[in-house]
Structure 1
């Protein structure tokens, strides 16, 4: 009888010990009742410092929530984000690019419907439409970006150059930069260059904002005049040596360095790169311009804008209320202003006061006639790759008509 009682006591103590271990494990992992850990994933490595500060503030205001931030390289994020967040273990709050990635995420049912959330009132309703589908808000664009070349204002003033308003003027400007020993355009052809510069290069060659929808429907082709002309103009820039040597092997960081070292007059990416340039060369005065590929009287658009870095809540998350609270925190005026001014990004949040020099100097672009980023309106990732590949092909020396023909052969496989 004593032995039986002794064995019962051992079993009871074992259960108590295991329960204590389990509770300790829950507490350590942040999964206990007293604390929730949410995962926040994105691609903006250059924003890590300010996000670290904002996350610290958020955790102080919400002591029952911790935020684990993971940052991926941009190209890796585009290709793996869907897989990363599918099971809900990662990316309670995640970001999406507009266009193809947003459509893929939506089709997979990975984004929680945010319609009716109070924090949507903190945003300019006209600037968050890229995150909508069928009248519902599935993601909230946070950044307002101008995807067009950044230029060295001081150098332009020194050389007496004014941003041109037609194609002949754009070529003459590049030639003057070249004659004075500068690379006219630092082109990051190894990663984002083709996908960025294409937008302003084709905006007036094909002013129809439905052009890529029509391409995917078979109503127009890349072998039509609008795209062949765009490729011909890309090839002209390359043939005249207006891009740096080995431009197709240059990544964005390398192109930024050329700009910061004042070896190049322009950088072919967008306003989001200005903070990185200023970090390397604080004394540079920067501006934005867009190549006008037609005559001045034919031009309909002055530049390109994008609403991106779209904040979404994972529909498979077990921490949706906490994830929404974090997005609400980022949309509050004080926190949004901190992010904007320390990263050099215009935002979609209402009534912000911009303090940084680069934001003040480019704020007038909000009033210009800019067009939404055309590439992001391509819903098929395969077609998007074919379009960009045709640009890389002509920069590499291929005939524009042949490059357009080969790209269209890819498109034909996906036409609905």
Structure 2
């Protein structure tokens, strides 16, 4: 019993001492002045005065330059902070609409042209930017892809050339002229093969025919409304324009223009083939030029889309896409801050920094291209007859999948006629 009373008395004494220490400590903090306390209040007030906006996109490889640009924006706009999140492109295409739904994510978001733009538009998640002054900072010829029913819903930031990139130095060393007809293209491919070089590295496992299909069909189907007519039932995949395109893919595959197991080769492996000069071309586009230069700084690169017709029949020299479209979430409560960020990105000096550090051509006016690769290819913007990427003019995802699937089936051994017929059945099931 005495032992218990002693323990209790000790506990009481400990509590009294701790309370006294706490009081002394509080007094010391008070006596030291109000700086710490008011500093905390100031910090809290500052946080309350700062609006954080969410910026989401799919280009993880651009994070470093965006981090720097965001830092500059926040310095010029101390009342706004930017939280950036990036996602793999396939995941972004699948999940962006869901992320935008409640307005808490993606105050500023990006959209692919084509099916994703249509899906987000149908869901009503775009803010109309038609009256914003920063729209004038973009090349007028690029803006149409972000418009719907006369309203500017998104502004495309990048000008991408979706056609094979080739090793110019290799061509010069082998004395190969850039082909201007189907017969010259075949001769070029044979010369490369004779020198144990694969003409085209094709990343079929992850990118597939998404990019190469555009330049393969650009002169087989000169009508730029061809996919609109396909989806309305006026045109079919079993007609010559698509059968011929599938036959060309078959020819490339059966004659060794593509590497072995093209459908099983991923993007990184295909890029390494070009960097190691095992392959002359990469079947993707301009967005991989900077990465190729990182793998092999000695590469001199250009564009070489496949020419599948005679020289007299050539109308288009290549493919372009206005993409990485910047938009403001209609469900956002921070629209003005979001618009301020897009306006900042559209300034020529900021756009020039982004272009040169990422190796991307842009749609912003007065961009200064400093990198060798961009300077060597910028003439494609004004001097070449390119058409907008046909794949992005397909509005129904199921139709797009059927079109691309027919190419993969041909590369897998299916006849062009059978592959086209199977794809056309899917199209007919999705005709509006």
TM-score > 0.5 by shorter chain? yes
Task: State yes or no: 1:34 paired with 2:49.
Answer: yes
Tell me the residue number matched to 2:136: 121
Task: State yes or no: 1:282 paired with 2:300.
Answer: no
Q: Which runs of 5+ in 1 are unaligned?
A: 1-25
Give 3-state SS (helix, strand or coil) of 1:82's partner: helix
Tell me the residue number matched to 2:417: 401
1:15-414 alignment runs, 5 A limit: 33-366=48-381, 367-414=383-430
Separation (CA, whole Å) in 2 of partners of 1:187 and 1:28? 54
Kept in 1, the 8 Å contact 2:182–2:310? The answer is yes
Separation (CA, whole Å) in 2 of partners of 1:104 and 1:308? 16
Deviations 1:315-344 (A, max 9, x none): 111111111011000000110000011111
RMSD value, Cα: 1.9
Alpha-carbon offset, residue 58 of structure 1? 0.9
Kept in 2, the 8 Å contact 1:193–1:268? The answer is no
Greater CA drift, 36-45 or 209-218: 36-45
Give 3-state SS (helix, strand or coil) of 1:262's partner: coil
Separation (CA, whole Å) in 2 of partners of 1:387 and 1:115? 33
Kept in 2, the 8 Å contact 1:122–1:349? The answer is yes
Deviations 1:207-230 (A, max 9, x none): 000000000011111011110110
- CA 1:60/1:229 → structure 2, altered by over 3 Å: closer, same or farther? same
Count matched residues: 393
Greater CA drift, 52-61 or 165-174: 165-174
Alpha-carbon offset, residue 347 of structure 1? 0.7
Alpha-carbon offset, residue 249 of structure 1? 1.7
Whose Rg is larger? 2
With normalisation by structure 1, the TM-score equals 0.92
Give 3-state SS (helix, strand or coil) of 1:75's partner: helix
Deviations 1:251-309 (A, max 9, x none): 22222222112111000011111011011111110000111111000111111010000
Greater CA drift, 32-41 or 208-217: 32-41
Kept in 1, the 8 Å contact 2:208–2:408? The answer is no
- CA 1:177/1:28 → structure 2, altered by over 3 Å: closer, same or farther? farther
Kept in 2, the 8 Å contact 1:31–1:37? The answer is no
Kept in 2, the 8 Å contact 1:30–1:36? The answer is no
Alpha-carbon offset, residue 177 of structure 1? 1.1
Alpha-carbon offset, residue 192 of structure 1? 2.0
Alpha-carbon offset, residue 180 of structure 1? 0.6
Kept in 2, the 8 Å contact 1:238–1:395? The answer is yes
Deviations 1:76-129 (A, max 9, x none): 111111111111111111100111111111111011101110111111111111
Deviations 1:15-71 (A, max 9, x none): xxxxxxxxxxx9999995311111111111111111111011111111111111111
Q: Which runs of 5+ in 2 are unaligned?
A: 1-40
Give 3-state SS (helix, strand or coil) of 1:351's partner: coil
Deviations 1:181-226 (A, max 9, x none): 1111010112223110000000110000000000001111101111
Separation (CA, whole Å) in 1 of partners of 2:277 and 2:256? 17
Separation (CA, whole Å) in 2 of partners of 1:54 and 1:187? 34
- CA 1:45/1:278 → structure 2, altered by over 3 Å: closer, same or farther? same
Alpha-carbon offset, residue 169 of structure 1? 1.5
With normalisation by structure 2, the TM-score equals 0.88
Greater CA drift, 171-180 or 338-347: 171-180
Kept in 2, the 8 Å contact 1:185–1:264? The answer is yes
Separation (CA, whole Å) in 2 of partners of 1:168 and 1:104? 41
